Amino acid sequence: MDDLKGKNVIVFGATKGIGAQVALDYAKNGCNVGIFGRSSDKLKDVENQIKKTSSNIYSLNGDVSKEDDIKDFISNFIHKFGAIDIAYNNAGAMGSFSSEDDLNKDLYEEIFSTNVFGMILCLKYELKQMLKQKKGVIINCASVGGIIGHKGNPVYSASKHAVCGLTKSLALRYAKSNIRINAIAPGSTATDMLLNLYDSEEKATQRKNSIPLARFALVEEISNAILFLSSEKSSFMTGHIMAVDGGVTAGRS
């Protein structure tokens, strides 16, 4: 997308899956890219892949549940590139698919620490900078589990419902400050995080067959939607939760 060229973009949760793919795609579209993630080895791998396309890259190993890590990342990125035009908040934790301990407080605190409170910290410092600039675009990673319920993983679904509510509310608050805030809600996507949940090919096939399009999404397909929300092609969109789910949220098929 030509209108992304030269934009300054940060990606939280960029070590693998959707986050890694969109970081690469931002770079391929001519953006200056900052990447953040917990695994230093995987982060270095993504950085090296980006360097094949662009030298305009900054990376920092850190944890979104630690405020100082986020502050350092954003401060260093701004020092290097001068501004944040676009932020994609992808860091997240799935939890386990189990009927046991569904209402275990420790489990909820663990998942919400990353999926909700970590995202709040990212938003806090992104918005602080974008208010100074009087413009910006933010995309949060939600899930179809934040639009409909999920009997197999209520803690994950609850955390992603919180992301959707946060996205809509902040979009309303900052619309007149020329800051657009939307969320992407991926359906089942062929990432390691998803595929590791299935202990047999049969179970994975059953899951695919429950999707109207009868397959998992590719990370490239989710990235394409994120790039659209990042670009001027979505300039009149804010507070929107974009489902990219193969038809799951359309209803029963």
Cα dihedral 116, 107, 216, 119, rounded to 10, equals: 10
pLDDT at residue 225 greater than cutoff 70? yes
What backbone phi and psi angles, to 5 degrees, belong to 186?
-70, 145
pLDDT of res. 203: 76
Q: Which domains does the chain have, with CATH numbers?
A: 2-191+218-243 (3.40.50.720)
Tell me the per-residue pLDDT of 69-97, one tens digit each, with 9 for 90 and over: 999 999 999 999 999 999 999 988 887 66
For the whole model, what pTM was predicted?
0.95
Q: Compare 200 and 177 and report the one with higher pLDDT.
A: 177
pLDDT category at 28 given cuts 50, 70, 90 is very high
Question: Three-class SS of residue 21?
Answer: helix
Tell me the per-residue pLDDT of 42-72, one tens digit each, with 9 for 90 and over: 999 999 999 999 999 999 999 999 999 999 9
156 as an active site residue: the answer is yes
Burial-class residue 151 by CB neighbours within 10 Å (0-12, 13-18, 19+).
exposed
pLDDT of res. 201: 77
pLDDT of res. 197: 67
Amino acid at 26: Y
Burial-class residue 90 by CB neighbours within 10 Å (0-12, 13-18, 19+).
buried
pLDDT at residue 198 greater than cutoff 90? no
Q: Compare 197 and 166 and report the one with higher pLDDT.
A: 166
Letter string b/e over residues 165-177, b meaning 16 or more CB atoms within 10 A of that residue's CB: ebbbebbeebeee
Of the candidates 88, 108, 125, 156, the residue annotated as catalytic is 156
Residues 6+ apart with CB under 8 A from 103: none
DSSP 106: H
pLDDT of res. 98: 62
pLDDT category at 115 given cuts 50, 70, 90 is very high
Contact 129, 74 (CB under 8 A): yes
Query: For residue 57, how many C-alpha atoms fall within 13 Å in the half-sphere facing its CB?
Result: 24
pLDDT category at 5 given cuts 50, 70, 90 is very high
Contact 86, 63 (CB under 8 A): no
Across all residues in the chain, what is the average pLDDT? 93
pLDDT category at 12 given cuts 50, 70, 90 is very high
Cα dihedral 149, 181, 55, 74, rounded to 10, equals: -100
Q: Compare 157 and 198 and report the one with higher pLDDT.
A: 157
How far apart, in whole angstroms, are the C-alpha atoms of residue 185 and residue 163?
Answer: 10
pLDDT of res. 192: 73
Tell me the per-residue pLDDT of 148-177, one tens digit each, with 9 for 90 and over: 998 888 999 999 999 999 999 999 999 999
Contact 188, 211 (CB under 8 A): yes
